[in-house]
Amino acid sequence: MTRMVWRAWVVVLGSVALATSSACRPKPASVEELYTTRTLGRSYLQRNQLPEAEAEFKKLTKLAPDDPAGYADLGLVYLQAGRYPDAETQLLRARKLDPASTEIGLVLAKLYSLTQRPSDARATLERLGRDTAGNAHVLYALAELDAAQPDSASSRRYEGRLRAVLAVAPANLAVRLKLVDVLARRGAADSAVRQLEEVRRIPPEPPREARIYLDSAIQLLRSGQLAPARTVLDRVFRLLELTAPYQAALDDVRWTDGPIAGRPILTYAPKDFIHGARDRATTDLAKFADATSDAGFPTAAPGVESGPTALATGDIDGNGTDALFVSTWSPTTHKSVAHLYRVQGGFVQDATQRSGISLPQGAAYATFVDYDNDGWMDLFAIGTEGRGHLFRNNGNGTFAEVTAKAGVADVKGARKALFVDLDHDGDLDLLLIGSGQRTVYRNNLDGTFTEATTAFGLAGGSATDAVIADFDGDGRIDLLLTSDHGAALYHNGGAQRFSDVTATSGLAIPGG
C-alpha cells in the first residue's frame, strides 16, 4: 500500500514538474515577428542606422538563439561600425552554429583582413574553397589577398586566381579587365589582346568613348607598343569602372562585407589624356611658346576690363579627342562671349555656330556631362545673367537647348554645378553651389529634373565648393561642403536622404 501511494506521489510530482517547466519555457516567436525583426534590422543596416540595426538584431538573437543569421547580421553591424572585437564574437557564434556557411566564412575572412591577420583570412578562405569549389566570391577574395602583397610569387598567384574566377564567371567584366591590367604590366601583349577581344564580346556594349580607346589599345598591343598601350588602357579602365555593368560585375564577386545600396556614378566627363611620361623631371629643359594664334584661337589685346570666364572639355562626337568650350570677356563687345572649339591635331576650329549652342550673355561656369545616359556628352552652363542652360547633344555635332523642359533654369545664385548620382538610381543628379543657397535637382531620367533639396536633407545654408566621395566605405556617395563658416560633411544614408555628421566626424572647425 505504501509503495502504491509512493508511486502515485511520483506521478503527481512529475506532472507538476512538467507543467511548471512548460509554464516557464518561453513561448516560441511567431514567424511574423521573426520576419519583421530581421527585415527591420537589415533595412536599418542598409541605411547605415547602426544603433537601430544593432537593437533589432540583438532582439533577433533572443527570439531565435539557434539561428546563425541573427549573429551574422549583428556581426555585420559591428563590422560596419568598426567594432571589430564585437564583430568577431558574433561572427564566431554564427560560424559555430553553421560552419558550412560560405557567406559567414567570407565575412569572417574580411574581418581578419581588416584587422591585419592575412594568414587567418587566407586559411579561412582556402577552407571555404575546399568546401565550396568554384565559388567566385571565395576565389576573388583570395585574389585580393594576393594583390596586396608586393612579391612576384603573390603576383603570379593573383593572375592565377583571376583566371580561376573567370573559369566560373567568364562574362565578368570587372575581373577580365583586372586580368588585362596584370597581363599588360608584365608585357604579355598577345594574352592581353585576347582578353580585350573577350571584353568586346561581353554585353552590353561599352560606351562609345570607351570603345574608341579599347580599339586603340588593341592596335597598340598588336604592334608591340607596350608603353603607349598602357596609357590608353588606363583611360579604358577609368571609363569602364564608372559604368553600371562594371559595378554590377564587381558586386557579383566581391567579398560579402555588408549591404551596398545602389552603385555610384560619379562622372562621365573625360579628363585630358597623358600620352607619355619621362623617367626623370626635365623642367630645366622644358620650353613653352605662345601658340594661341597658331592653334587657331582668337587673340585680343589685354585691357582693363574683365568679366566671368568658363572652361569645359569633353569628347562631344566620340572621336577620342576632347572639344573645348570657352567663354571669356570680349573687350570689343564688352561682354562675355561663348565659343565651342573642335580640336584636331593640335589645331582648333570654331564650331559654335554649327553646334547650335547659344549663350548671348556668355557663361560663368560650364561642364560637359551625359545627363540622359544616351552616350553623348551634353553641356550645362550657368550664364552670366544667373540662369542655368542645358544643351542636349543630338549625336550629329549639334546641340538643342532643353532648359525649359528639364526645369533647371533657376540656379538660385549658384556659381558651380556638380553632376553626381546622389540617390544611386543610375542617373546623374544636379548639385548647385555658390553664393546663394545650395540646391539639388533630382534627375528623373525622362529629360526632366525635380527640385529635391529638402527631400534629400540638404536644405539650409550655402556652399562655396563641394567634394563627392564615399568617406565611410559603405558604398554610398557622401558630400563634403565648404563655406565661409567652415566645412560640413553630409552622410548618405540611402533612400534619398543625407544627414549632417560634421560634429561626429571631427570636422566641426570654424573656418576649416
Residue 387 is classified by DSSP as B
pLDDT the model gives residue 42: 84
Q: What long-range pairs does 37-42 form, CB within 8 A, spacing at least 24?
A: 37/63, 38/69, 38/70, 38/73, 41/73, 41/77, 42/73, 42/259
Categorize the per-residue pLDDT at 509 as very low, low, confident or very high, splitting at 50, 70 and 90: low
Q: Quote the mean pLDDT of the chain.
A: 83
pLDDT the model gives residue 257: 47
pLDDT the model gives residue 287: 63
479 has a pLDDT exceeding 60: yes
The answer to whether position 37 is within a domain reads yes
List pLDDT tens digits, range 297-350.
666 655 545 667 899 998 898 777 889 999 988 877 788 899 999 887 667 788
The answer to whether position 209 is within a domain reads no
Q: What's the average model confidence in pLDDT over 41-46? A: 83
Of 99, 117, 146, the last residue of a domain is 99
Q: Which residue has the higher pLDDT, 267 or 404?
A: 404
Q: What's the average model confidence in pLDDT over 386-391? A: 96
Q: What's the average model confidence in pLDDT over 440-458? A: 93
Q: Which residue has the higher pLDDT, 426 or 159?
A: 159
pLDDT the model gives residue 206: 85
The answer to whether position 127 is within a domain reads no
pLDDT the model gives residue 493: 85
22 has a pLDDT exceeding 50: no
Structural domain total, the chain: 2
Q: Compute the distance between CA of residue 386 and CA of residue 84 in angstroms, rounded to an integer.
A: 51
13 has a pLDDT exceeding 50: no
84 is in which domain, residue-wise? 30-99
Q: Compute the distance between CA of residue 411 and CA of residue 417 in angstroms, rounded to an integer.
A: 9
Beta bridge partners of residue 441, listed in sequence order: 430, 451
9 has a pLDDT exceeding 70: no
pLDDT the model gives residue 27: 64
SS3 for 335-376, per residue?
EEEEEEEEEECCEEEECHHHHCCCCCCCEEEEEEECCCCCCC
Cell of 154: 603573390
SS3 for 141-197, per residue?
HHHHHHHCCCCHHHHHHHHHHHHHHHHHCCCCHHHHHHHHHHHHHCCCHHHHHHHHH
CATH of residue 399's domain is 2.130.10.130
Of 77, 99, 121, the last residue of a domain is 99
The answer to whether position 89 is within a domain reads yes
Of 63, 81, 99, the last residue of a domain is 99
The answer to whether position 406 is within a domain reads yes
The answer to whether position 38 is within a domain reads yes
Q: What's the average model confidence in pLDDT over 132-153? A: 90
Q: What's the average model confidence in pLDDT over 462-467? A: 87
The answer to whether position 412 is within a domain reads yes
Alpha helices by DSSP H, listed for 366-485, are: 403-406
List pLDDT tens digits, range 253-290.
987 644 322 233 333 333 333 334 344 445 555 566 66
Side chain identity, residue 26: P
The answer to whether position 75 is within a domain reads yes
Q: What's the average model confidence in pLDDT over 410-419? A: 93
List pLDDT tens digits, range 173-197.
999 999 999 999 999 999 999 999 9
Q: How many CA atoms lie within 13 A of 12 on its CB side?
A: 6
462 has a pLDDT exceeding 60: yes
pTM of the complete model:
0.50
Q: How far is CA 288 from CA 18, 277, 283, in A?
A: 96, 17, 11
Q: Compute the distance between CA of residue 149 and CA of residue 208 in angstroms, rounded to an integer.
A: 35
List pLDDT tens digits, range 212-246.
889 999 999 998 888 888 888 988 888 888 788 88
pLDDT the model gives residue 274: 35
CATH of residue 61's domain is 1.25.40.10
List pLDDT tens digits, range 91-136.
999 999 999 889 899 999 999 998 999 999 999 999 998 888 789 9
Cell of 294: 597658331
